[in-house]
Amino acid sequence: MRVLIVNCTLKPSPEKSNTEALADVVADALRGEGVEVASVRAVDHSIPPGVESEMGEGDEWPGIRAQILDSQILVFATPTWLGRPSSIAQRVLERMDAMLSETDDEGRPVAYNRVAGVVVTGNEDGAHHVISEVSGALADIGFTVPGQAWTYWNRGPGPGDSYLESEEGREWSHSTGKAAAANLLAVARALERMPIPAPPSE
Amino acid sequence: MRVLIVNCTLKPSPEKSNTEALADVVADALRGEGVEVASVRAVDHSIPPGVESEMGEGDEWPGIRAQILDSQILVFATPTWLGRPSSIAQRVLERMDAMLSETDDEGRPVAYNRVAGVVVTGNEDGAHHVISEVSGALADIGFTVPGQAWTYWNRGPGPGDSYLESEEGREWSHSTGKAAAANLLAVARALERMPIPAPPSE
Amino acid sequence: MRVLIVNCTLKPSPEKSNTEALADVVADALRGEGVEVASVRAVDHSIPPGVESEMGEGDEWPGIRAQILDSQILVFATPTWLGRPSSIAQRVLERMDAMLSETDDEGRPVAYNRVAGVVVTGNEDGAHHVISEVSGALADIGFTVPGQAWTYWNRGPGPGDSYLESEEGREWSHSTGKAAAANLLAVARALERMPIPAPPSE
Amino acid sequence: MRVLIVNCTLKPSPEKSNTEALADVVADALRGEGVEVASVRAVDHSIPPGVESEMGEGDEWPGIRAQILDSQILVFATPTWLGRPSSIAQRVLERMDAMLSETDDEGRPVAYNRVAGVVVTGNEDGAHHVISEVSGALADIGFTVPGQAWTYWNRGPGPGDSYLESEEGREWSHSTGKAAAANLLAVARALERMPIPAPPSE
């Protein structure tokens, strides 16, 4: 059982990422269950725009794609900008769009029997919408979204502190993140034991 | 294994519901697998506004709520109005909001280990958004949303025919609906065998 | 110049409405400019589901519709439930859907040259999405949405106090509400002086 | 009176852009009214991620930003990917986020008294949501969104042709685009004559 965290912050390393910090709570909870967790900060890689799995020379998406398909659990972490998922998050989803027509040996879309959760931070209101947008896109692609498999932090109303700048509300965000980790793991294990079969042929 | 279809059309019986007609494709596929399928047209019942499981005399929500909790699979069917889920759909979700704080004998939110899918019709563009809105809300409440557990029909651009008025595009909507049925059933069975445990206590 | 506030709280009168309380800040600012402000709490009226301007006996929508069309400024106020506009808000929008095909003497959709703003409260994250959903629907119908013509209050992360239960963050919500009032009034006056003409005929 | 079309296709020049082709209908209608129209294909420029107006060496955003502020009408054109605005569209919005705190000589946010419309294409359902997302973000920044100032093309259900691959439905998309052009121009002219004043000071 492997987990990949894809962090869609706009900030290249080594800048501090609020989103990474909150995603780490979920990662730690998963590691505590003996699961292997890797992570990638998408903005550190060259990911050209497009909806194909390979977009030519210099494209670093194929390596990230391989990590996603090598994992049973995807934790999709993104900041909130203008109330919506980051441009990096949408870029990652667009490249994952190609998975819609890629199938495994049994004819199943490659995302089947993988589960996905969402972690969102922001300096203002918007997290629930971001969670719906991201998990809606991932379910379209074929990921299963377990109940309550997300957490977020922001503090309204209006623009304000980022996650790392405030101690307020962390307890809720962390306990919600730990529940998300448990739910992701439980559903991933259930699908490992009893996988979704190939779609019915007409 | 039981399925409940909640049809959130605006039209009271016996008016023909496009949404019901498309939901029937999913229902038939599930029945074909030997699963028991019931359905309810929410607008035929008195469901007062509110976010409690019981809102007083004349409230017919408790009966629908009991049917939801008596089923392992929820198929949430709604038309698209102004690009969004119907007011009846939002009413049903609001009443389900109470499930957030209702737990089973093991301390799990009552929606845990249930799966949900979405069926959408419309006379114009909007289905993917409606699917994200509804499945986002249901995942918040605790339902697990299997990958590709939805179907829809509309025919753009601009306002046009409803599902029952056109033969176009039905093949895609029906085969997508059958795949949705299969995916709902597979994940429901996996969670029946290996259920999500109670959330970690702090 | 007249303003109508449509409050889409789920709570019938005389229950206290958080949404009304915040909408009153916008109303007071408009009254301070000498503008006449009326308001209606939609849930106090019988508004059957449908997408026609008249849905038969007992339908109280026609009176609200007349008030909307008697005003140049619409302030659409709604709570946030499950991260989305209330079922009452969607009901009002559905009934307004009929305005898409209703035109004035010059062939313009009846909503043209009217402006709309949004007020949102909630006990959790979701306001920006609710504002986009409501103002998107109103712009579809033909209302002009001035820049920064909204305000909201909620306090995350996670569920918490409602607007009337907390003093926190009010200053921002109120000053944003006063700016919304000013922007609504400015654009309404500009359109009164130089109205949008009828759509080009083909 | 100047118009800028920002095309947020994922395809670099000289690839054919469906979005550009539909945006040209709006552009032509505006030119027919004697208005100057320029356009930029954002993906052809280096626009690093971030939320500042200048992000350092090689950043080509400042030139696009200058063109936006040199125009009274912004036509924001984007394809639909996974039911949502493109990553390029979100990138542009993120860079525009800085405009929230940039003011003119009279203390008004720089986007005030500018109007914005949206053009959307796609090979599947999603346009209304994309329109709401983009116009919601632009209204947050301060743009005024005239009623019915958008058009779109897609043809459901399910994935299918792109705009340039089909003749179906074009008449509706084009006449809706011409109406959008007229509405954008009318509101821009009204705001030119009677501009929104600076926000009230506390």
Average pLDDT over residues B80-88: 98
In this prediction, residues A116-138 reach a mean pLDDT of 98
Interface mutation vs chain C, best among D97, D104, D132, D193, most C CBs within 10 Å: D132
Q: How many CB atoms lie within 10 A of CB B59?
A: 17
Q: Most A CBs within 10 Å: which of D17, D45, D82, as the mutation test of the A interface?
A: D82
DSSP D47: -
Confidence of residue C199 (pLDDT cuts 50, 70, 90): confident
A83:C157 CB<8 A: no
Distance (Å) from the C-alpha of residue C12 to the closest C-alpha of chain D? Answer: 30
DSSP SS3 for B40: strand
**Close Cβ partners of A177 (under 8 Å, ≥ 6 residues apart):** A22, A25, A26, A29, A119, A151
Q: Which residues of B touch D169 (CB under 8 A)?
A: 156-158
Burial of A141 (0-12, 13-18, 19+ CB in 10 A): buried
Q: How far apart are CA D27 and CA D23, in angstroms?
A: 6
Which residues in B lie closer than 8 A to residue D129 (C-beta atoms)? 83, 126, 128-129
d(CA B133, CA B84): 8
C-beta of residue C78 within 8 angstroms of C-beta of residue C85? yes
And the tokens for A78? 């993104």
Q: Could you give the angle at the alpha carbon of D140 between the alpha carbons of D134 and D145, nearest 5°?
A: 60
DSSP state of C145: B
Of C10, C49, C97, the CB nearest to B49: C10
Q: How far is CA C1 from the centre of its chain?
A: 16
Do residues C145 and C138 touch, judged by C-beta distance below 8 A? yes
Q: Which two tokens mark C16? A: 């206290």
- Cα separation, A196 vs B184, in Å, equals 9
- Tell me which chain A residue has its CA closest to the CA of residue B111: A147
Q: State the best of D125, D134, D171 to mutate against chain B, taking most chain B CBs within 10 Å.
A: D125
**How far is residue B184's CA from residue D200's CA, in Å, rounded to a whole number?**
54
Count of beta carbons in the 10 Å neighbourhood of residue C54 = 12
Nearest CA in chain C to B89: C87
Q: Provide the token pair at D66.
A: 């200058």
Q: State the nearest Cα–Cα gap between C104 and chain A, in angstroms.
A: 36
Mean local confidence (pLDDT), B136-151: 98
Q: Give the count of Cβ contacts less than 8 A between chain B and C.
A: 74
Find the residue in D nearest to C176 (Cα).
D199
CB atoms under 10 Å from CB of A155, counted, come to 25
Interface A–D counts its CB contacts (< 8 A) at 74
Please tell me which chains touch B, using 3 or more CB pairs under 8 Å as the contact test. Answer: A, C, D
What pLDDT is stored for residue C202 in this prediction? Answer: 54
Amino acid, single-letter form, for residue A161: D
Burial class from Cβ neighbours inside 10 Å (0-12, 13-18, 19+) for residue C16 reads: exposed
Average pLDDT of A43-57?
A: 97
C-alpha torsion D25→D26→D31→D36, nearest 10: -130
Chain B residue numbers with beta carbons less than 8 Å from the beta carbon of D154 are 125, 156-157
Of all residues in chain B, the percent with pLDDT exceeding 70 is 99
Contact at CB, A199 and B191, closer than 8 angstroms:
no
Cβ-nearest to A157 among C129, C132, C173: C173
Average pLDDT over residues B14-34: 98
Residues in chain C with CB shorter than 8 Å from the CB of B85 are 84, 90
CA distance C155 to C170: 10
Question: What φ, ψ does residue B107 adopt, rounded to 5°?
Answer: 85, 10
Q: Which residues pair with residue C4 across a beta bridge? A: C38, C74
How far apart CA A159 and CA A124 sit, in angstroms, is: 5
pLDDT digits (tens, 9 = 90+) for C92-116: 999 999 999 999 999 999 999 999 9
pLDDT tens string C114-163: 999 999 999 999 999 999 999 999 999 999 999 999 999 999 899 999 99
Is the per-residue pLDDT at B129 higher than 90? yes
ipTM of model: 0.97
| Residue A49 reports pLDDT greater than 80 | yes
Touching subunits of D (3+ CB pairs, under 8 Å) are A, B, C
**Residue D201 pLDDT greater than 80, yes or no:** no
> In the prediction, which pLDDT does D202 show?
54
Cβ distance of A169 and C156 shorter than 8 Å: yes
Task: Give the pLDDT of residue C200.
Answer: 72
Chain A closest-CA separation from residue D19 CA (Å):
15
Question: Is C24:C36 a contact under the CB 8 Å cutoff?
Answer: no
Q: Does B157 sit behind a cis peptide bond, omega within 30 degrees of 0 on the bond before it?
A: yes
Please tell me the distance in Å from A100's CA to the nearest CA on chain D.
10
Q: Which amino acid is at D196?
A: I
CA-to-CA distance for D134 and D139, rounded, in angstroms? 9
pLDDT tens per residue across span D117-167: 999 999 999 999 999 999 999 999 999 999 999 999 999 899 999 999 999
The distance between the two most distant Cα atoms of chain C, rounded to a whole number of Å, is: 55
Q: How far apart are CA A138 and CA C134, in angstroms?
A: 25
CA distance C81 to B136: 12
Contact D132 C133 (CB under 8 A): yes
Task: Measure Cα distances from B120 to B8, B130, B171 in Å.
Answer: 10, 7, 15
Q: Where are the alpha helices (DSSP H) in chain C?
A: 18-31, 61-69, 87-96, 127-141, 170-193
Question: Residue D94: which of A10, A51, A137 has the nearest Cβ?
Answer: A10
Per DSSP, what are the bridge partners of residue A117? A75
Chain B residue numbers with beta carbons less than 8 Å from the beta carbon of A133 are: 132
pLDDT digits (tens, 9 = 90+) for D43-99: 999 999 999 999 999 999 999 999 999 999 999 999 999 999 999 999 999 999 999
Give Cβ neighbours of residue D114 (< 8 Å, ≥ 6 apart): C147, D71, D72, D73, D74, D142, D143, D144, D188, D191
Q: How confident is the model at residue A200 (pLDDT cuts 50, 70, 90)?
A: confident
Pick among A84, A131, A162 to test the D interface (most D CBs inside 10 A): A84
A2 has a pLDDT exceeding 60 = yes
Whole-angstrom distance, CA of residue B126 vs CA of residue B80 = 6
pLDDT at B202: 54
Name the pairing type of β-strands A150-153 and B36-41.
Answer: unpaired
Helix (H) or strand (E) holding B77: strand B73-81
Which positions in chain B touch C51 (Cβ < 8 Å)?
10, 81
Q: Which residues of C touch B51 (CB under 8 A)?
A: 10, 81
- What are the C-alpha distances in Å from A168 to residues A80, C3, C149, C157, C164? 18, 39, 29, 9, 20
How far is residue C72's CA from residue A21's CA, in Å, rounded to a whole number? 48
Q: Do A93 and D84 touch (CB under 8 A)?
A: yes
Handedness of CA B177, B183, B187, B188 (dihedral sign): positive
pLDDT digits (tens, 9 = 90+) for A68-121: 999 999 999 999 999 999 999 999 999 999 999 999 999 999 999 999 999 999
**Does the distance separating the beta carbons of C86 and B94 come in below 8 Å?**
yes
Q: pLDDT tens-digit profile of C3-59?
A: 999 999 999 999 999 999 999 999 999 999 999 999 999 999 999 999 999 999 999
| Cross-chain residue pair C132–D128, CB shorter than 8 Å | no
- Say how far apart CA B98 and CA B141 lie, in whole Å: 9
Partner chains of C (3+ C-beta pairs under 8 Å): A, B, D
